[in-house]
Amino acid sequence: MSTENNNNLIYESSLKILKDLISFKTISGENNNELIDYCDQILKKFGATSFKTFDDDKKRVNLFATIKAKKSNDKLPIILSGHTDVVPVSKGWSSDPFKAEIKGDKLYGRGSCDMKGFIACTLAYAPIFSSVNLDRDIHFSFTFDEETACLGAPLLIKELKKRKITNGICIIGEPTNMKIIDALKGCYEYTTYFEGLAGHSSTPHKGVSAVEYAARYVKKLIELREKLKEKTPKDSIFDPPYSTLQIGGIFGGIAHNVIADKCYVNWETRPVIKEDGIFLNNEIDNYVNEKLLPEMKKVFPDSKIIKKIIGEVIGFERVEKSEACEFVSSITGDNSKDVVSFGTEAGLFQEVGISTAVCGPGSVEQAHTIDEFIKLDELKKCLKLLEGIKNKSIIN
């Protein structure tokens, strides 16, 4: 069979697999076992070994599979990494978001771009990796709930550390138009709960309004947001260059004339450096413990303010010499590197010593949108990258 025919078969396979992957409604927080089993079966069919890590309810699962080298040498193993969850669907789609549809040069469907397109390409290329004389291991890492503060990846990485899989080159296929991203801000998400004392609005001094104390908490966060801007590093490579802070929502109260006894605030920060996250948490915690909570307890001793960590995803730091970036560059011929402000699992892999690059098909401009799509040419570019990985991973 000619190389062109073979490439066409792999491409057609990637489209079929992508359509299948989109049909699994793996919205963050929901069960992704069926999709993971589907991926696992494909990989095992071509000789991969695998293990899974689960959440506490066994409802959500990570998969780590390996096509072993025929004869290993000193080459670093490759980890092809992607998340299996997608964001919820808004109204307004022109077609069924969980039924992939090709129109012109685009394939539409929730997750087509972010990031089932990349996963489909890696699965379509599995038989090729299996059929050649690999001189390094090829790993496939598929995680759950990346979209909700990277909840799945830490469980997987904990298991990798146990198994001493802490070196290698990790390529995270987030949508970057196949451009190399070598730095990201961190992403820390919190929910802060306020519990006061309900009462009648005509006697506000006898109650403790959780809503009012939540409002003061938010006001303090907004003040701290300005301080974060003052701490902007001189050599920051990000846009915006400072650590950001955003209030996602305030929820509390039941009626106009009832003192609210419960309220909670969703908020997040994206630190340029880890120290900004530490500074912010110390400042807001001190404000709670020294100011807000004592005032609440004067009226109602059982008042509470509880900050729950939803996720603290460390940033992905630019390094002077990145084996992963150089490896990808050597295949694509593109030596440029860029940064983005959206979060990925890159920093988690980097933290355990795995050289990491973010590079995948599709544009982040289509991620999370109504009528999400991926251009078909982007899938072809991704398959070209995988071909390059194969060529650099076979016994000479």
Q: Are 182 and 337 in contact (CB under 8 A)?
A: yes
Q: Give mean pLDDT, residues 240-267.
A: 97
The pLDDT assigned to 342 comes to 82
The pLDDT assigned to 6 comes to 83
pLDDT tops 90 at residue 5: no
Q: Give mean pLDDT, residues 322-347.
A: 93
The pLDDT assigned to 396 comes to 72
Read off the pLDDT of residues 140-170 as tens digits, 9 standing for 90 and up: 999 999 998 899 999 999 999 999 999 999 9
Instruction: Please name each of the domains of the chain with its CATH number.
Output: 3-183+316-391 (3.40.630.10), 187-313 (3.30.70.360)
Q: Are 137 and 66 in contact (CB under 8 A)?
A: yes
- Among candidate residues 85, 189, 212, 372, the one labeled active-site is 85
Q: Give mean pLDDT, residues 183-198.
A: 96
Read off the pLDDT of residues 191-249 as tens digits, 9 standing for 90 and up: 999 999 999 999 999 999 999 999 999 999 999 999 999 999 998 999 999 999 999 99
Question: 45: how many CB neighbours lie within 10 A of its CB?
Answer: 11
Q: Give mean pLDDT, residues 123-129.
A: 98
Peptide bond into 361 cis (omega under 30): no
Q: Is 20 a catalytic residue?
A: no
Find all residues with CB under 8 Å of 243, minimum gap 6, and list them.
Answer: 185, 228, 231, 269, 270, 271, 272, 273, 276, 277, 280
Q: Give mean pLDDT, residues 344-349.
A: 95
Confidence of residue 1 (pLDDT cuts 50, 70, 90): low
How far the first Cα of the chain sits from its last, in Å, is 22
Instruction: Report the range of poorest mean pLDDT among 89-103, 336-350, 352-366, 371-385.
Output: 336-350
Give 177-223 as a DSSP string: TT-EEEEE--EEEEEEEEE-B-EETT-GGGSB-HHHHHHHHHHHHHH
Q: Are 210 and 260 in contact (CB under 8 A)?
A: yes
d(CA 375, CA 104): 9
Q: Are 18 and 100 in contact (CB under 8 A)?
A: yes
CA atoms within 13 A on the CB side of 217: 33
d(CA 89, CA 369): 8
pLDDT tops 80 at residue 251: yes
The pLDDT assigned to 4 comes to 76
Strands 169-172 vs 78-83: parallel, antiparallel or unpaired? parallel
- Among candidate residues 40, 114, 145, 146, the one labeled active-site is 146
Q: Is 146 a catalytic residue?
A: yes
- E strand residue ranges, the chain: 49-54, 61-67, 78-83, 101-103, 106-108, 138-143, 169-172, 180-184, 187-195, 199-200, 244-252, 258-259, 262-270, 304-313, 337-340, 355-358, 373-375
Print burial letters for 140-179: b (CB count within 10 Å at least 16), e (below 16): bbbbbbbbbbbbbbbbbbeebeeeebeebbbbbbbbbebb
Question: 344: how many CB neighbours lie within 10 A of its CB?
Answer: 26
Tokens of 10: 């792999």
The pLDDT assigned to 2 comes to 66
Query: What is the CA 95 to chain-centroid distance, rounded?
Result: 26
Average pLDDT over the chain, rounded to an integer = 96
